[in-house]
Structure 1
Amino acid sequence: MAYADNASKTVIVVNSEFPGPTIINAVAHAVLGLVGSNNRDAWNLLAYPSPAFSSESRISEFPAIVLRAKRSSALEKLMCALRGTDIPHNVFIDSMIGASAEDQQAATLAATPEQNKLICVALFGREEAIRPLIKSFSLYKESETSRVAPTE
């Protein structure tokens, strides 16, 4: 199914070297930071009321796409390509996992590509502006090797 409202999109590129729970944590933090540090209205958050679930969610009119990088170096190249653009973006580095925010901030200040890895990069923008930057990444899909075998 092709989604009609895709003039803009949120794209999250994740490093598949990391386990699923680590990726989910990184994505949540990266997207929160992306929205929090930019114009929230750009996402055109629409109300999705669901009386049966006693909820009213706010969901962006625009799609959110999760792409896969095989290693940190691909995300580092993406970050270099984003430099000097006006495309809002946010990154999550493995140094941002730690015992406290203070420890994480200190580790991130000292982080280097030789000793640390990028877990994800989140970006938001017009389709035509971000398409050239993300064309080398594929959709993130569950890997056959990461599946847990059912227990009997």
Structure 2
Amino acid sequence: MSDDTIRLVTIGRILRRRWQLLAILTVVGALVGYGTSMLFPPRYTASASVLLPGQWEERALLTQAEIATSSAVVDRAAAALGWKGVSAGELQDRVSAKTSDGNLIKISGTADTPEHAQRLCDQLAKEFVTFAAR
């Protein structure tokens, strides 16, 4: 008999003796996981990229990224989305924008469902392009 066989037999004996404790720990772990998922619901993040035409300096791109998440743009996006119970202030906390290589601005939005996250990003990008065009 090899050492591996003896170890497996020993582990089997331990599991047979302590099966009630393992079952209790499994149920407690499942309840803790369920409770945690209720307290902290899942969040989904989507992103949209906006390509700015022409040549831009780094500082100007950073300014455009700040404009993309400014209250003027977020307020317009919130009004267009029309989500009940979600204010423009809450959306302000859920969106971000940063510059990428070239003249790209990556706009990200977080919501409770993937569809809402994508709609938020798309609407914010649309409102940003409209605002920047004026």
TM-score over 0.5 (shorter chain): no
Higher radius of gyration, 1 or 2: 2
Taking structure 2 as the reference length, what is the TM-score of the superposition?
Answer: 0.30
Q: Which has the higher strand share?
A: 1
Q: Which has the higher helix share?
A: 2
The structure, 1 or 2, with the larger RCO (C-alpha pairs under 8 Å, 6+ apart) is 1
